[in-house]
Each structure stands twice: as structure tokens, then as C-alpha cells.
Structure 1
Amino acid sequence: MPLLNQTALVLIALLLAAWTTAAAWAVLAARSRLRRAEASQRQARRLSRMIEESPALPLLVRADGRIEGPSRLAGWFGFDAMPGYLSELDDGERGFDEVQLSQLSDAVRRAQKSGAPFRLALRTRGSNRSLGVRGHLADPQVSAGGAALVWFFDFSDSDDELRRLRGEAAEARADFAGLAGLIEAAPLPMWFRGPDMKLRLVNTAYVRAVGAKSAEDVVARGVELVEPVEGVSAQQAARQAQARKSQLERVVSATIDGQRRAVRVIDLPLGEEGVAGYAVDIEEMEELIRQFRRFRDAQRQMLDTLSAGIAQFDAKRNLVFANQPFLRIFAIPQAWVVDTPPFDRVLDRMRDGGRLPEVRDFPEWRRERQGWFLSREPRDEPWHLNDGTHLRVVGQPMPDGGLLMIFEDRTEQLQLSATRDTLLRTRTATFDNLFESLAVFGPDGKLQLWNRRFAGDWALEETFLATHPRADVLLKRIAGQLKRPAQVGTIGHVIQAATLERKQKTGRLALANGRYLEFAGVPLPDGNGLLTVLDITDAQKAEAALRERNAALVEADAVKTRFIANMSYEFRTPLTSIGGFAELLQAGVAGELPAQAKEYVAAILASVERLGEQIENVLDLSQSEAGTLPLAREPVEIFALLTAVVQERAERIATAGLTLDLRGSASVGTVTGDERRLRRAFGQLVDNAIAATPEGGRILVECVRAKGGALQIVVSDNGRGMDSSALARAMEGLKIAADGKTAERRTGLGLPLVRQLVEAHGGTIELMSEPGQGTAAVVTLP
């Protein structure tokens, strides 16, 4: 029993040990499987999580159309849970629309049948989600039976970015096309150079400028627009711009369309891509600049000729120009202006020279003048200097921000204005106090000025005249005062002639009250006309009296002339009888006369001859004064006539103890006139010379042709001569006396008769004499 029990116990123990061992192994195996299961679960969860977080989610589509996929993918489709079949991805509001689902179904079916992979781009309903789709036949280990594995990629953000980039690219292409079109259509020559500085692109303006066929031809031949300047070619200039990494600007000359033009060339580096360039035609601008410079120089030369001082300041308020009057007014040397001093220094210099007005606060006054630069309107103010100079100062702002100051010296003008005011007051006082009636009318016929006498003579009210009536209205008012009212138009014609025709006219009128007025229209320098009216009533009466007296005197003169002519005739008749009887006695008809009787008869004959000459002189003189002297018009040998006159007086000259010198020749020619009266005129001159020359004296008779062809006869003597008063009396035929004693005795009617006869022949006579030197008579005949 114990042995059995022991054996049983051993068996039980072994059984228990084996069971324990098996149990332990089972436990260990179970734990190992559990650990592997947990690891698998963890791996599955990790893979599931990775799939959930992956940007691509799978969808397994079995052959029968059933689908399997993560819930996240169902959310992409817009479902809360994944539908069971592919056809259920379109429920009318979620998933894909009919067209897109059809595309997806067809692509899945092809992949299941042929194994062909596919790619699609789909958009879900009700959202902007964009899905990229890639599908292929599923691996049998994943799903057997021809299932298709479809991967969905959410590229909504990428699609938006892509659309944005596509829009930007489209805009860039449009902008580039527009820019290219603009460059092509630009009137400026433009070009682009590659890294090797050779031309790659040129526009149409470039082609036209160089006269090439096309842009390709220009690029192929490398035709440059600008030729080398100072050894620097266009390519070298572009390389310099690229090396400096900044644009290079040059002004050069180029041939454009066959003409030499000034152009501004700009080379603009574009990094490593090359250099772009363009050329701007500035020929017109350069010409404008040259014209502006010439205009400025001409303007400054003109400003130098002005009397007003001119100072020009630029936008920086520096003095850039001052004309000569400005330098003279402010005593500023030209060299100081060359330094372009600022505005403040110019004012300080003026103040130091005492050429500014006195002000209390000079800095504030100067700041106010500085404000002129910012003003939009010109400033004008007077400056009164200490030396009495009055300046009108004008500050004219310039468009460029500068200032033009004009200094006009009005000192003389103000003085003239004061003088003018004084003259106007003087003229007004004189105007009002004249005895004449005066009125001034303008070119429009209106009354401008009048004096008190004008208003009084025509009985016009001051209130009426103050309205400055027209001439026709004024004349209607005064027409009733005229003796003949219709004659008032004469005054209107005089006013019109003075104001419009600028002519002076006069006239006379009689008033109804018996007064007489004389009026005249005088054009004035200012375009107005002056009407003067003078009361000539007294003068008219005196004139009438003078006319009556003159008529009486004319009648008396005519009576005198007739009396002289009659008396000359009456004297000549008995004188002829006396002369005839004396000649009979001298011839011995009455018997032989004693010697003393013969002397008496000779004296009678001489007196008869002398008296006859005087009667002839009186007759000729009276006829000459009356204008009735008959003259013959025939050629007269003047030298032969003078010779005859001298020979006739040879005995008298010898008896008086005188010598006579006759100069001239027959070459002097002839004159047209009355030989008998010319003989009498020159005979009177020789007789006067004989009578005025003392014994031993000398008489000269000279005949020459003067300049111009006139004939000049001089009869002179070396007698005692006469002073100026005696010379005048001699021309009247009077006896000349000095100190109560007779100095010279000349025939009373001789010189007046000579003057009348010479003037009747169109000639002149001039008598010259000096006391102690003698007398000379110069006769000029045409």
C-alpha cells in the first residue's frame, strides 16, 4: 500500500510535473502568440494611422463593384461613411457628378480587365476639393479576384496654386506680348545685346533708322545705330554699362533716316542676360536749347538797353543776371554779380550803400521780400530812398521758382508829374482868363474843355456844358444867336476839320445883336481840336474905317500920279521952248552975241538939260511906283552900254579932277531889258559917284559874270562914305549931312529911281558904305 502509494505518488508527481511543464509551455506559447498579436495590432494601427495621415488614400474596388476605403476618404467624398459600391459615390448631392463618376468607373473597369494604370483629376460636389486619381490592378495578396486599387491625392491647395500660377503665367505672357508690341511699335530705336554684346533683337524703329531690310538682317550683319565716338564703339559702351552694373547715358550724333541727328543713347544692363538699349532723338530739344540760349542772350542784351534796373534770381535765390541800369542805380560792380550772390546778400549790399528805404525792423522786412519767391502774383511797391530817389519795385515770380525784380526810377517822372500839375493849373487859370472863347473837342465830337469866356459869349449854362455835349447838340443851342442861323454849320465844319481831318480852318459870323465873331479850328497834338472864337466887333468897325481911308489914300495917290504925269508934260512943253530959243541965240540967228551973253546962253542950255532929266526921273519914278512903267524887252550889250555912259561923263570927270577905271569886256554878254532905262540907272550911279568924290578921287566901274550866270555891275568910289542911318536915307533920295555940314551930296531922286529901274528888270541893288572908306553900289541882273 505504501509502495503503491509511493508509486502512485511518483506517477502523480510526474504527471503533475508534466502537466505543470505543459501548462508552463502552454502559458509561454500563449504569451508569445499574444505578444505577436499585440505587435501585429500595433503594426496594423500604425499602418492605419499612417494611411489616415497620408496625403494619398487607397480605395479598393472589387470586381463586383464593392468598395473598401478609410473613413477619411469617405469624408473627402462628402460622406459620413464609405458607401458599399462604386456606383453609390454619386447620390445627387455628394460624391462625384455623373460625368466624373462615369470617367472613374470606366477607368477602373479597364484597369481590372487589362491591368492598365490610369490617372484622373476629379472635383467633388459641393466643395472646391480637387482630387488626383491614380489606379492600377491590385496585388493578389491585397485582394484576389481582379480588384483594382485606386489612390486618391488631395491637391486642392496645389491646384489653387497651380491655377494662380497659370493665371500669372497667362498675365505675364499677355504683358510680355503687350510689352513686345509696345517696343515694336515704339518710335524710339530699341535693341537687346546678349552676353557677347552682339545684337540679338531690334525693333522696327531701329531697322528704319539704319535703313535695313528687316530686323533679322540687322542682327545678322550687326548693323550699329551709333558709330564709334572718340574710339569707343557701341559694343564697348554697352560692355562698360554691364561692368558698372548701372545704366550708361551718352549724347552723340547719329544718322537716322539719312539725317544727322543728336540722340541720347541709354545702355541698361540686365544682369547676366545682356544689355538693353534705346536712343532718344533730342535734335529738336537741342535746337530748342540753342534757341533758348540765343533768346536768353538777346533778352539780356535787350534788358541792358532798358532804362529800368532788372535783377533775376534763380530757384535757389541766387542773383544770376543784372542789367547795367541795375548796377548803376545800386552802385554794384559787375564782378560782384559774377559770383551769383544770394538774395539776402544783395539786399545787405543795397542797405550798406544806402539804396534801400529806411525801415524799423530790417530782418523782418527782408523776410517779407523773401516771401516774394513763393507768391503767385507779382508784387509792386514804392521805395523812397534817402537821396530823394523814388523807385517803383516790381517782383515778378518766375515759373521755375525764381524771381524777376524790376526797379524803375520814377524820380524824374514824379518831378515831371508835379511840373505837369503846376502847368495844368497854370493852363487852367490862363485858359479861363483869356479874352478869346476857347473850347476843346475830342475826335468823337464831344466837348472836352472850355473857358468862362466861351460860356459867356454863347450864353451857355455850366450844367449843360458839364454834360460834355456833342458838337451837333451844342451848335443847335447857339444857332439862334446867329444873324443867319443856317451858318452854324460853318462852325461844325471847322470843328470836324480840326479833329478828324487835322486841318486848320477859319471863318467869320455875324450875331443877331450886331456883334461880329471870328473863329478858327486848330488841330492839337493829342488828337483833339481847339475852337477859338474872338469878338472882332471893334476891329471890324476899325477895319471898315481903314478901308474907307485906304480908298481915299489910293484915290489921292492916283490923283498925285496923274498930277505928276500932267505936270511933267506941262513942264516939258515950255522947257522945250526955252531950250529951242536958247539954241537959236547960241547959233546967232538973232545976231552975234557978246562973250558974256554966250556964257549965259550956255548956262541956260545946261539948266534946261538938267531940268529935263529931272522931269524924266520924276515921270519914270511915278510910273514905276504905280506899276505902269513901260519897259522894252530886247538884248542889251551891257559892257558897251557902260562904256557909253562913262564916255558921256568924261568931260565932267576931267573937270572934277577925278579918274575913272572901267573894268570888264564884251565877253560878259547881254541882258534882256530896256536899254534907255538901264543907261539912265547906271548913269545915275556914276553921277552920284562923281558928286560924292572929292578932287583927286577915284571911281571904279566893274562888270563881271557871277556864279550862277547872273551879271554883276559894281560902281564904287573912295569918297567920304556914310554911316548906316545915312545909307538908309540915301536910298530914300535925301540929302546926307554930318555935324551940320554937308558930308555928301547925292541927287535926291537918283537912288530911288535906280532901285525902281533895277527891280523892274528883275534885279537887285545893294548899297555899301563906310565913313572915310567910300561907297559902293552893287547891281545884280539876271
Structure 2
Amino acid sequence: MAERSRTAAWCRHRLLETVAGSAALIPTGVMSTGAKAEPMLVNAAELVTLLGPHQILTMAFTSGVTLFAILSAAQLLRVARRASRDRAAARSQIATLRAETDRIRTLLQLDRQITVVWSGGEPEIGGDIGVVGATQPFRVLAFGIWLDVERARDLEAAVERLRERGEAFAMALATRDGRHIEADGRAIGGHAVLRLREATGARGEAAELADRLRRAERDAAILRTLVESLPVPMWVRDATGRLSWANAAYAHAVDAKTTEESIDRGTELLDRGDRITAAQARDAHGRFEKRVAAIVAGERRQLDVVEITDANGICAGIALDATEAEQVRVGLQQTIAAHRRILDSLATGVAIFDANKRLVFYNAAYQRLFEFDPAFLDDKPSDPDVLDRLRAERKLPEQADFRKWRDGFLGAYRAIEPQEHSWHLPGGQMLRVVTNPNPDGGLTYLFDDITERIDLESRINQLSGLHRETLDNLAEAVAVFGSDGRLKLHNPSFVRLWRLSPDALASQPHVEVVGTWCQAMCANDAWSVLHATVTAIGGRHEPVARRIERADGSVLDASAAKLPDGSTLVTFRDVTDSVSVERVLTEKNEALEEADGLKTRFIHHVSYELRSPLTNIIGFAQLLGDPAIGPLNAKQRDYVGHITGSSAALLAIIDDILDLATIDAGAMTIEPFEIDLRETMRAASDGVQDRLAEAGLKLVLDVAPGIGTFIADAKRVRQVLFNLLSNAVSFSPQGGIITLAARAEAGAVVFRVTDQGPGIPAELKDKVFERFESYSPGGTQHRGAGLGLSIVRSLVALHGGEVAIETQPGRGTTVVVRFPMTHVMAAE
């Protein structure tokens, strides 16, 4: 009992604590105060005292249940309110999404487009399939139907990468019917989406330009590949004229390993002159086209070169090998010209008419035969017109019905085989006329005047006796062998020359037998050639000549020629005396040439051997005159000066001799380049200043205003002018004036060196140019080696120029030198 009492007390205590902790005041009722009712409040302790423990427990349990119900209802109310708010928000969001969907659908419907979505199964195709010209949705994905093969392959590859790896793409396409489509592929939310949209307006223009660019790039790539593979040199120059591109054939043509090497080195295929001409033509007309010669891969070829320039100054060129065509053209022209010359040289009249019966060719014999006016023939008359004119001039056979005869004669145009006619003209002339049909439908006429032949045939018997007597009295040995090789005719000289028996020759022996008899007297085998000529099948019309040396020392000139009847005429002429004289003259000429060569070699060798010690003498003399070596007295300096001057003069003579020897040997060449006229004249005059001062002479340089430069060997030009000035100094009187003038005249640069000396007699004007000839006018003591003017003439001749002398005794001398003006540049 006690335990239960303790337990109950403890429970009451905990309950009171609980109740007391949850609410300090508990409403227990309402008190009425008359006007209004007020609640009555008691605290927990008072409540326990008033009610007791059991009532308190009962009331607490009831209150807990009620509180739980109230709290649950409140929670349910809050959940319901939240659910209501969520439903309202969802309805608002759905309405917003629907509005956005409607807006997007409206925007999508503004453009004609197709949308293809791959979600793992069959693709979903929507939109206007007419954009790509398809009639069924599945034909949209058959790209090869509405695209060309290349673009269809590109689109298929892009779609495959989109579906497999999610790679986005965008490309512009052109359909087979010319429409432009924008293809756009994207990966969206795990789906592969392809959109095909028709490009219109600015997008259409951009797509069209993109398609043009693609095709242009493709065509450019194809053309570049083609150009690179062509075996024809092609190149491009920039606006400055420098090579900027070339193909492999160009590199091969200029012997470059690669095209880059040819461009870097700027190796040119054309010569400088051709490039200048091409640049001038491009500047004037924008195009250059010409056949030029050039070195291609080490060989000289003929090239048809074409260069064109665009508005930006970029030049493109191509060179086609026309060597074979040029050779064929030249050969054809030569053949045609040779045929014309042959036909013109024929005694047979030739006239060729074309298929329209118009005259296209005639030779001189045809014109002379009928005495045609050349203007009439050059007007290409018809064949009937020609026959009508011949009939009017009575140069056709007389015919009762000319029209019928003419129509039958012109039937040769329809014939297959040649036809031959004989015309007996009213004047007694007889013609042989051959009509030969041409493959092109024309006709070729051959007219032979056989009047003389008929007359000759009537007189041949009378002349045969005369011919026989003539042959018998000829000094030359004559033998005629028939076509069967047997001796048909011979004269007494043949019998005497070969010491043959007339009886043996009367039996008409074969040429082989006659050759055996005659070969026994010959020192060389010459009869074999004559035998081959006589027995040749078909006959050889070209004469054959041989020289026969016999054992007795005599020499014969033999010749064999085919005769029209197939016989062979063999003649022998004794030329023993002529050959002896010829041999003597040949031996003498060879001896003279050998002596001249020996003289030239001797002069060259001696001059070379003198040059070395003379150079030492000049060097030591200059060394003695150097004050640094030691002082010299006046006489010693005078001697050294004489040594130096004499050595220099001797060295100049030796140099001249060496130059002449080099020229005679054909080893001297000129090195032309651009030289300045004034500077060249000044350099030549500097070499004679000491001599001018010593003789008290004045030198005047007269150069035409505006004269500039020309192409020549500067060293040789100075040498020419120096020799002329030295020659003028030698012949000028004390205090005289020497003039060196230069002018440009008629495509040449002309130098004139004028002195006031005694002049040269007319009979000696040409002689002064000969070697080792020296002229001393008026008994003066002037003597020279006689090489100066000879060297001048040789050096000027190497330049293609000429030298002349204008002089009169007592009025001075002017030497005129003309150099061809290969290329002149005006002075700035």
C-alpha cells in the first residue's frame, strides 16, 4: 500500500510539474459582473487544491487528447493551404509554358524549315518537306536525291558525327534545283536535332555566295592540280614584274630542282630582250603573244609565249613548245616553195583548177605558152572562161560545135583516170594536153609544146650523120653503153686513150669486159663506179664523176650520165697537165699558209718573251725614280725618265703585237656592257696628257649634248681612242689643236679624231691601215711600229664597226670611227 501511495504521489507530482510548466493560468469559468462577463483565472496550485489529484489527472488526459487533435488539425490545415498554393503556382507555370510554346511555334512557322529529331528510334520529321523538294518525309533524309553527290556525302558525315559524338555543325547547301538551304545540327537534351531551313533574302544571298566560294575553291584546287601536272611551263608575276609562282614544268625548263628554288632565285625562262618586249606589250595592250626562242632544259626551243595582265598588274604566262610545229611549218613552206620553183622551172605548162573549176595555180610556162595577161590569171578565172578566151584568140583546135566540144572536154572533172589529148592549133603549133583529176575534185592540166619535137623527129635522121662525125672528131673519149650494158657507140679517141682493138669493140662487148681491159691500166679502182652506173636498174639521171689515175702517171676525169633511152654516156678527158699545175699551186699555198702560221706563232712567242723582262725594266726604273730609294742627280733622273718612257713605248708596241696575234688566232673576244661616252673619252685623253704637254698641244673634247651611253667593250674602245690620239699627237705641229668629237648618227656612235698635221696623200690612205707600215710626211723623222691604225681597224671590226680617213695634204687628217649603237640610253 505504501509503495502504491508513493507511486501515486510521484505521478501527481510529475503531472503537476507538467501542467504547471505548460500553462501558468488555466481558465476555469466566467464571472459575471453585471455589465459584462470576465473569465475567471486560477493557477495550477489552486487548481490542484480545488479539484484533487484524480480530477486533475482526468482533466489532463482529456486536455492532451484535445491538444493533439487541435495540433493535428492545424497541421492538416497548413498542408492543405500549401497544396492549394502549389496547385495555383503549377497552373500559372503551365499557362506560361503554353504561351511560350505558342510563341516559339509561331516564330518557327515564320520560316520554311524542316526539323528532324533522333531520340534513339526512328527520326521524327516535321515542318515543310517542300523546302528540299521532297514529296514524302522519308525522302528528306535521302540527301543524294536533292543534293549533289559531294555535298550529300558531306551532310551524311556531319549527321553521323552529330548522332554518334554530339558534334554540332552548320553548313550552307545548294539543292539540285538551285535553292539554298541552311543545315544546322545540335545535340539538345540527349536528342540529335537537324534543322533544314530555306535561306532567303540576305541569308539566301550569303548562302549563294558561300556556295560560289566553295565551288570556286574546288575549281581553283582542280585547276591548280591540273596546272601543276601540265608539262607546259606556266608562271605568274606580281605587279613589280617579279616571279611569284611557277609550276613544276617551269622549274624543269629553267633547270631548277623545285619551283620554290626557281622563284627564290628569280630564274627567268625568256631572254632579257623578250621580257622587255613582253612588258611593253602588256603595258600597252594588256597582252603579249609571240613566238620566241629560249633555252628549255638545256636545249634551244621555239616557244609560243602568251602573257596577260589583270587590272591589278598581276601577270600570268604560259609557254607552249612550238619547235616541232615551227619545223613542220618551215619544212612545209620550203616544200611548197620548192614545188613552185620546180613547176616554174618546167618547160611544161601547168595549170591547177579546184573543184569549183577556178584557177588556183599556174606556172610561168603556162602563161608564156598561151601569152596570157598575168592580171587575168591572178584573178582566178574559171576553166570555161579560160577556154572561151583561148578560142577567141585562136589558140584552140577548130571545132564545128565548140560548146559541145567544151562540155565534153570539161568532162575530165568527172573522170577517174588521166586523159591525154593532142591539139593542132590553127597556127601550126602542136600541143600535148594531159588532164589529171585531183583527189579534191579539181583538175590539173599539163601542156607540152611538141611542135619542136615533131620537127626534130623529122630532122633527126639528117642530124645523126652530123653527130657521128662530131663524136669521131672530139678530143674527149666517148662511149655509150645501152640499157643491156653493151657498148653501142664509141669514138676513135676512146680507142686511142685506152689502147683498145677496134675489132674487139666492134663486137659490142659488155661493160664488164671493157672495164676489165681498162682497169689493167688504172692505179685506182674507178671503173667499178662506172660499171655500177651503167648496170643500175631503173637508171640514174644524176651524172657521176670520178678521177682516174693510171699507172703511166696520166690523170683522167671520167663522167657517166644516164640518157633518156636508158643508155649511159661515159666520157673521159685527159687532165694530166691541169692536175700537175693544181698540185704545184696547192703545195705552194700550203707552204705559204704554214709560213704565215709560223710567223704568227714566232711573233706571239717573241712578244711574250720580251714582255717579262721589259716589265722588270719598267719596275726597276720606277723604283730608281722613287725618292725613298735614294736621291738622284739631274742627269740620272733624266736617264731614268728616258728609260721609263722608252720602256712604256716598247711595252705598248709589244701589247699591240700580242693583240694582233690574238686577233689573227681568232681568240680575241669583246665583252660588251653599258659604257659612258664622256668617261671613256676622258680616260683615253688622260693617257696622252704627258705627250700633249711635251709637244705643247691642246686637246679639245667635243661631245654632243644629250648623248649618253651605248653597249661596247669599254677597254677596247679606250684602246682605239688612245691609239688615234697618239697617232694625232705624233703628226701634229708644235702648238696645234687636236679634237676628239663624239656624235650619234644613223644608229651608230661616231668618233672623230682631227689633227692639224700635214695630211696623208690619197694613194696612201688605205696603206696606213696595213701592219708595220709607217708614214713620214714631208721627210720628217717620225717613225713608228705601224701597228696603231691596224689594231684600231681590227678592234672596230670586232664590234661590227668601220674606220675611215678624211684627209687632204696640208689640211690635217680626220679619222672617223663608227660603232653600231646596239642600245643607247639617254643621259639624265
State the TM-score bracket (shorter-chain normalisation). 0.3 to 0.5
TM-score by length of 1: 0.38
Structure 1 or 2, whichever has the larger Rg, is: 1
TM-score by length of 2: 0.37
